[in-house]
Amino acid sequence: MDLGLLVEWIIKSVVIMGVLLTGFAYETWLERKVVSKMQFRIGPNRAGPFGLLLPLADGIKLIFKEELTPAMADKWVFRIAPIMSMVVALITFAVIPVGPSINLFGRVIPLRLADVNIGLMYVLAVSSLGIYGIVLGGWSSNNKYALLGGMRSAAQLISYELALGLSLMGVVMLTGSLSLVDIVNAQAGNFWNWNIFLQPLGFILYGICGLAETNRAPFDLPEAEQELTAGYHTEYSGMKFALFFMAEYINMVNVSAIASTMFLGGWRAPFGFIPEWTGPIWFFIKVITFLFIYIWLRATVPRLRYDQLMNFGWKVLLPLAIANVIVTAITMALRQVYAPNAVVTVTFGSLLLMIAAVFLWRSWTSRSMRRRPPLHGTSAEGAARTA
């Protein structure tokens, strides 16, 4: 092992951390700005031009805030929980390729931190650890809201993790590799080679599960202000709160980056003739698009009720994800045996399944609505409709 390699890793780690943390800061700015525009407000406009310095001001404010530790709290677990959340969010990004290899100062530098052969399973395994920060944060606060929020969040995370793991399986089957670099390379060329056209249902399922895994609207039950004040981080203040906040937003970037890598060609440009070194720019554009959709959904879609949320995960997403894997397997076998050149068969199967699912879903919701009338007023009705 030579020293140059170690220096390269350290520099890359610093860059990843720097970009993700700045990204986090400006995500909050973007979110405020976009939501305010959607609600016909002005949004942040005081600190700097277009309020661009607001994240900085927020950071300074949080540093100078008093950090409270509630009486009877478990002090060490209370401190460790936010660090766990943030570390898990940061190291998930390690295996995601953001560009091709470039030549710099006579060295070939691949634009990714690590290419591990089991890349995708690494991502799934590490992100499944994110649950501990949330449960332990809620438990150690010695607060009823926090505990309940943490437990709800944990049950939500594990329920949606299943469909999430299955929704990516179709891509793995088509590529025959778990390495994210291989998956990106398999989508080289023009944009119709992207996996989204082979796995439309997988893409939609992953998008929904990703929303739930990051506790974002309409799945932000753990932080439902009206019932749980702030969920698992009710008792957190100052920089400890900032760490949880950071973890949530970095996880949004992770989900967007993985969705781009798996389904939208990763850093690859939409057309084959565009030079490869533009990779990071395309990657950035794709991630920002996903983040914008995240914010858009938050401004548009009302929150689900908790039982609806769990039912949706276990009774809709999980069977659909299983069906997607089966249909992909069957269509791949059919293609290989009868029509080696017909790329469309896999897409066709996926689309057929999607249409069937929509019909089933409609009949299922109408039945469940009859059985269980909404508990109260319009918000529950709205949530039911969007579910």
Partner 1 sequence: MSLLLFGILAVIALITAALMVTARNLVHAVLMMVANFGTVAIMYITLSAPFVAVVQVAVYAGAIMVLFLFVVMLLGEQQLSFDEPFAGQRMAAGVLGLLLAIMLLVTLFTASPAVLQTGLTAEQIGRENAQRVGELLYTQYLLPFEATSILLLIAMVGAVVLAKRRLL
Partner 2 sequence: MPQDFLPILVLFIMSVGLGILVLIIARLFGPRVPTRAKMMPYESGMRPIGQAMRRLPIRYYLTATLFIVFDIEIVFLYPWAVVYKRMNPIWVGLAEILFFFVLVIIGYVYLLRKGALEWE
Build a one-symbol-per-residue string for 367-386: x at contacts with partner 2 by CB under 8 A, - elsewhere.
Answer: --------------------
AA identity, residue 245:
F
Burial class (CB in 10 A: 0-12, 13-18, 19+), 348: middle
Q: Does 285 bind partner 2 (CB under 8 A)?
A: no
| 118 or 352: CB nearest partner 2 | 118
8 A C-beta contact, residue 54 and residue 43: no
Q: Does 147 bind partner 2 (CB under 8 A)?
A: yes
8 A C-beta contact, residue 82 and residue 141: no
Q: Does 204 bind partner 2 (CB under 8 A)?
A: no
Cα-based torsion angle of the residue sequence 128, 332, 349, 197 in order, rounded to the nearest 10 degrees: 70
Q: What's 61-117 look like in SS3?
A: HHHCCCCCCCCCCCHHHHHHHHHHHHHHHHHHHHHCCCCCEEEECCEEEECCCCCCC
Residue that the structure tokens 């944060």 belong to: 137
Q: Does 253 bind partner 2 (CB under 8 A)?
A: no
- CA torsion sign, 208 to 210 to 212 to 216? negative
Stretch that binds partner 2, among 267-275, 286-294, 296-304, 331-339 (CB under 8 A): 331-339
Q: How far is the CB of 261 from partner 2 (least distance, A)?
A: 17
Cα gap 81→139, rounded to integer Å: 10
Q: How far is the CB of 372 from partner 1 (least distance, A)?
A: 18
Question: Which residues in 62-101 contact partner 1 (CB under 8 A)?
Answer: 74, 77, 80
Determine the size of the site formed for partner 2 (CB under 8 A): 85
| Contacted by 145, from partner 2, partner 1, none: CB < 5 to 8 Å by type | partner 2
Rg, the chain, Cα only: 22
Stretch that binds partner 1, among 151-159, 235-243, 286-294, 350-358 (CB under 8 A): 151-159
Q: How far is the CB of 382 from partner 2 (least distance, A)?
A: 19
Stretch that binds partner 1, among 26-34, 147-155, 203-211, 293-301 (CB under 8 A): 147-155
Phi and psi angles of residue 23, each rounded to the nearest 5 degrees, phi first:
-55, -45
Q: Does 122 bind partner 1 (CB under 8 A)?
A: yes
Phi and psi angles of residue 106, each rounded to the nearest 5 degrees, phi first:
75, 10
Which member of 35, 53, 87, 151 binds partner 1 (CB under 8 A)? 151
Question: Which residues in 307-366 contact partner 1 (CB under 8 A)?
Answer: none
Cα gap 247→132, rounded to integer Å: 12
Q: What is the DSSP string of 25-73?
A: HHHHHHHHHHHHHHTT---S-SSSGGGTTHHHHHHHHHHTSPPP--TT-
| Contacted by 135, from partner 1, partner 2, none: CB < 5 to 8 Å by type | partner 1
Question: Which residues in 161-200 contact partner 1 (CB under 8 A)?
Answer: 178
Which member of 39, 40, 49, 72 binds partner 2 (CB under 8 A)? 72
8 A C-beta contact, residue 74 and residue 140: yes
Stretch that binds partner 1, among 18-26, 37-45, 111-119, 264-272 (CB under 8 A): 111-119
Q: Does 360 bind partner 2 (CB under 8 A)?
A: no
Cα gap 70→137, rounded to integer Å: 12
Sites of contact with partner 1 (CB under 8 A) = 74, 77, 80, 116-118, 121-122, 124-126, 128-129, 131-132, 135-136, 139-140, 147, 151, 154, 158, 178
